[in-house]
């Protein structure tokens, strides 16, 4: 069982390494070639320094040959100069390549996240995704850089110095080599345990980020319900766990130091003892011994780095695996190979025999059939859980129905491109979301090509122009995180302006006035009345005023359509669900239905 797991681990490292090289090697082949050339120069200059020590000792101290000493010293100086410039060249080159790889994968991750469905983000914690991107993306860079530096510099340096050692004294070399097998076995054991600890650390750190993110986003609730101490205890517990994981990684990572130091001390002391006794009793010249010891001491650093290499590679591979797991996640709403652009004429929306279930829940829609006629307003009403919001989510293909079809002007939206579909839609959610930037930027997100005049016209139609001009910098006023500097009604009117500037033929409204006070609702309702003119509107009706003006009201219950018609007709059906809901509210105060 252990052999199988060890084989799987080695195969994983090799497969990740192959993928990283395949995706990045060709683009940076020149940079890596130059870095490898520099690393080879570092390795050879280091070996040369050790090799020439025999001549230094014998010619300077035994033979006292001054002419040769000057030549030797000059060559040593040249070797160190070469080594210095080569070290600088490879470090700068590898840093530039590494930074480019990190930036490339950050762009690639963001682009890939944009292709994933809303359902994926509903199941995945945003803090976990942020932790994956921020903590793991460096693993791709480290896999390549560690491989290049270890192979071209450390391994070549070590091999060159071992060659010097063997050439100077093969008996001493055998003593040193006898230490290697137990050291390698111990390091392999450490790297296995570190691999699991690294993965656990990323997951725990994501929980820390998630807890802090939730607290910041819900700070008003935290303060209102005096939840500070409870949340602090919760976060402290998670942080303590993260600290223990980090300490465990530190212990495992640095466990290589006492191992390598102990084995190195044993090897060097054994070599010194053997060489000293041989020099004392056999009168062997010290030059070869000094060259050997110099090579041995110089070999220590590359040997130590190579000893830690597996530990470092395993950590980098775990990080790279988690990045690739995210990149390999397939979008749930895939487009068909022959998908065409949606062509809108009447903007008629039809749901035909639609069945839908969320991945982690029961069936929401049960053979649903409804039609939203082109250019008219269709309101969806019904008790909570009836499936109203699900319909709004299905039309833009945030999710795909389990069964049935959704048609726009007779075209199955599953057979058209998502981009062309969503260009024909404008969406106003119950909770308007504003992005970091200015008011003008947030409106222009509805149509990136919109001019300043288009943006301001949309704001006027959304009854937002006046309050925008009252802001310190007008349209250029920063909105803060999620529009925190604006009221709920102001944020919603900006959301409507964003929908209006898009000028799409189909408008989806998800309870756009549900969270507003009466004054804000009145202003937003005026904006909605303008936004709904001449468009196909599917609106989840939360207020009676919206229902009364709708061309058609569809009453839903338990995932099915139970009634449809105008307000006047449905309100007269004494035994109907709509009539019962209507009787529960007073029109004057707008109680929700």
Question: Domain segments of the chain: what residues?
Answer: 2-327, 375-389+418-583
Decide: 379 and 546 in contact? Cβ < 8 Å. yes
> What is the C-alpha separation between 12 and 313, in angstroms, rounded?
11
Residues paired with residue 380 on neighbouring β-strands, in sequence order: 540, 554
The pLDDT of residue 6 is 42
As a whole number, mean pLDDT of residues 254-260 equals 68
Tokens of 135: 């903590």
> What is the C-alpha separation between 127 and 445, in angstroms, rounded?
24
Give the total residue count for the chain.
593
Rounded to the nearest 5°, which phi and psi values hold at 409? 50, 45
SS3 561: strand
Going by C-beta distance under 8 Å and a sequence separation of 6 or more, which residues neighbour residue 582? Answer: 544, 570, 571, 593
- Comparing C-alpha atoms, which of 367, 361, 352 is closest to residue 562? 367
Lowest mean pLDDT among 341-350, 396-405, 564-573: 564-573
As a whole number, mean pLDDT of residues 375-400 equals 89
Predicted confidence band of residue 10 (pLDDT cuts 50, 70, 90)? low
> What is the C-alpha separation between 323 and 343, in angstroms, rounded?
38
The pLDDT of residue 1 is 39
As a whole number, mean pLDDT of residues 439-454 equals 91
Tokens of 239: 């942080």
Cα 484 from chain centroid (whole Å): 25
Pairing of strands 403-408, 363-372: unpaired
SS3 525: helix
As a whole number, mean pLDDT of residues 169-179 equals 70
Lowest mean pLDDT among 246-250, 269-273, 410-414, 585-589: 585-589
Predicted confidence band of residue 15 (pLDDT cuts 50, 70, 90)? confident
CATH tag for 2-327 (out of 1.25.40.10, 2.30.30.230, 1.20.1560.10, 2.60.120.260): 1.20.1560.10
Lowest mean pLDDT among 22-36, 58-72, 421-435, 499-513: 58-72
Predicted confidence band of residue 62 (pLDDT cuts 50, 70, 90)? low
> What is the C-alpha separation between 309 and 151, in angstroms, rounded?
10
For residue 426, give the H/E element and its range: strand 425-428
Pairing of strands 536-540, 506-510: parallel
Buried b or exposed e, range 196-233, using 16+ CB within 10 angstroms: ebbbbbbebbbbbbbbeebbeeeeeebeeeeeeeeeee
Confidence check: pLDDT of 591 > 50: no
The pLDDT of residue 455 is 92
Confidence check: pLDDT of 592 > 50: no
Which residue's entry shows tokens 């006046």? 466
As a whole number, mean pLDDT of residues 169-175 equals 72
As a whole number, mean pLDDT of residues 10-32 equals 80
Residues paired with residue 508 on neighbouring β-strands, in sequence order: 427, 538
Predicted confidence band of residue 406 (pLDDT cuts 50, 70, 90)? very high
> What is the C-alpha separation between 291 and 286, in angstroms, rounded?
9
Going by C-beta distance under 8 Å and a sequence separation of 6 or more, which residues neighbour residue 63? Answer: none
Buried b or exposed e, range 32-50, using 16+ CB within 10 angstroms: beebbebbbbbbbbbbbbb
Confidence check: pLDDT of 190 > 70: no
2 vs 7, 310, 369, 454, CA distance in Å?
9, 18, 57, 67
Predicted confidence band of residue 178 (pLDDT cuts 50, 70, 90)? low
Rounded to the nearest 5°, which phi and psi values hold at 585? -125, 155
Confidence check: pLDDT of 469 > 90: yes
> What is the C-alpha separation between 22 and 36, in angstroms, rounded?
18
pLDDT > 70: percent of the chain? 78
Decide: 118 and 2 in contact? Cβ < 8 Å. no
The pLDDT of residue 588 is 40
Half-sphere exposure of 96 (CA within 13 A, CB side): 14
Confidence check: pLDDT of 243 > 60: yes
Residues paired with residue 328 on neighbouring β-strands, in sequence order: none
Tokens of 238: 């998670």
As a whole number, mean pLDDT of residues 520-549 equals 76
As a whole number, mean pLDDT of residues 479-499 equals 82
Lowest mean pLDDT among 299-308, 351-360, 566-575: 299-308
Query: Angle at the Cα of 327 (from 191 to 209), degrees rounded to 5?
Result: 70
As a whole number, mean pLDDT of residues 119-126 equals 72
Confidence check: pLDDT of 506 > 50: yes
Residues paired with residue 427 on neighbouring β-strands, in sequence order: 508
388 vs 430, 495, 496, 512, CA distance in Å?
13, 20, 20, 13
For residue 98, give the H/E element and its range: helix 66-115
Confidence check: pLDDT of 297 > 80: no
- Residue 154 DSSP code: I
As a whole number, mean pLDDT of residues 50-58 equals 76
SS3 182: helix
The pLDDT of residue 371 is 93
The per-residue pLDDT of the chain, averaged, comes to 79
- The class of domain 375-389+418-583 in CATH terms is alpha beta
What is the edge-to-edge ordering of all strands in the sheet holding 506-510? 425-428, 506-510, 536-540, 377-381, 552-557, 560-565
């Amino acid at each position: 069982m252990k052999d199988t797991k060890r084989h799987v681990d080695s195969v994983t490292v090799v497969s990740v390494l192959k993928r990283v090289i395949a995706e990045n090697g060709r683009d940076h082949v020149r940079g890596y070639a130059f870095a490898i050339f520099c690393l080879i120069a570092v390795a050879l200059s280091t070996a040369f320094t050790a090799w020439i020590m025999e001549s230094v000792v014998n010619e300077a101290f035994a033979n006292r040959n001054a002419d040769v000493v000057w030549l030797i010293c000059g060559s040593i100086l040249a070797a160190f100069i070469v080594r210095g410039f080569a070290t600088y060249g490879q470090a700068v080159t590898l840093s530039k390549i590494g930074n480019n790889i990190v930036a490339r994968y950050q762009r690639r991750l963001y682009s890939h996240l944009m292709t994933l469905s809303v359902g994926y983000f509903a199941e995945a914690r945003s803090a976990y995704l942020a932790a994956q991107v921020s903590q793991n993306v460096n693993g791709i860079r480290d896999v390549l850089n560690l491989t290049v530096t270890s192979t071209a510099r450390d391994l070549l340096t070590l091999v060159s110095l071992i060659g010097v050692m063997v050439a100077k004294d093969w008996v001493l070399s055998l003593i040193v080599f006898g230490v290697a097998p137990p050291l390698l076995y111990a390091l392999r054991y450490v790297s296995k345990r570190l691999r699991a600890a690294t993965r656990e650390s990323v997951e725990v750190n994501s929980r820390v980020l998630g807890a802090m993110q939730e607290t910041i986003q819900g700070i008003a609730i935290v303060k209102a319900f005096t939840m500070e101490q409870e949340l602090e205890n919760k976060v402290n517990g998670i942080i303590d766990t993260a600290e223990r994981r980090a300490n465990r990684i530190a212990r495992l990572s640095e466990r290589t130091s006492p191992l390598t130091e102990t084995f190195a001390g044993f090897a060097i002391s054994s070599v010194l003892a053997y060489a000293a006794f041989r020099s004392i009793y056999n009168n062997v010249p010290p030059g070869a011994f000094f060259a050997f010891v110099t090579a041995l001491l110089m070999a220590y650093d590359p040997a130590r780095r190579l000893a830690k290499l597996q530990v470092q590679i395993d950590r980098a591979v775990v990080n790279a695996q988690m990045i690739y797991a995210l990149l390999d996640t397939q979008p749930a709403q895939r487009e068909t190979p022959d998908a065409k652009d949606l062509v809108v004429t009447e903007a008629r929306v039809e749901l035909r025999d639609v069945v839908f279930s969320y991945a982690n829940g029961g069936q929401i829609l049960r053979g649903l059939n409804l039609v939203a006629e082109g250019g008219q307003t269709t309101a969806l009403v019904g008790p909570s859980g009836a499936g109203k919001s699900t319909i709004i989510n299905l039309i833009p293909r945030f999710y795909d129905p389990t069964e049935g079809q959704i048609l726009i002007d007779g075209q199955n939206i599953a057979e058209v491109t998502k981009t062309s579909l969503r260009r024909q839609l404008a969406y106003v959610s119950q909770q308007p979301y504003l992005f970091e930037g200015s008011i003008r930027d947030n409106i222009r997100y509805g149509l990136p090509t919109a001019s300043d005049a288009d943006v301001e016209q949309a704001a006027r139609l959304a009854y937002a122009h006046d309050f925008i001009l009252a802001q310190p910098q007008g349209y250029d006023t920063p909105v803060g995180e999620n529009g925190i500097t604006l009221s709920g009604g102001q944020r919603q009117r900006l959301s409507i302006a964003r929908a209006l500037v898009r000028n799409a033929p189909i408008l989806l409204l998800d309870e756009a006035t549900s969270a507003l006070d009466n004054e804000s609702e009145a202003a937003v309702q005026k904006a909605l009345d303008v936004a709904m003119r001449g468009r196909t509107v599917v609106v989840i009706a939360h207020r009676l005023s919206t229902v009364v003006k709708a061309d058609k009201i569809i009453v839903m219950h338990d995932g099915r359509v139970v009634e449809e018609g105008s307000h006047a007709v449905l309100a007269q059906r004494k035994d109907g669900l709509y009539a019962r809901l209507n009787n529960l509210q007073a029109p004057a105060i707008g109680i929700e239905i």
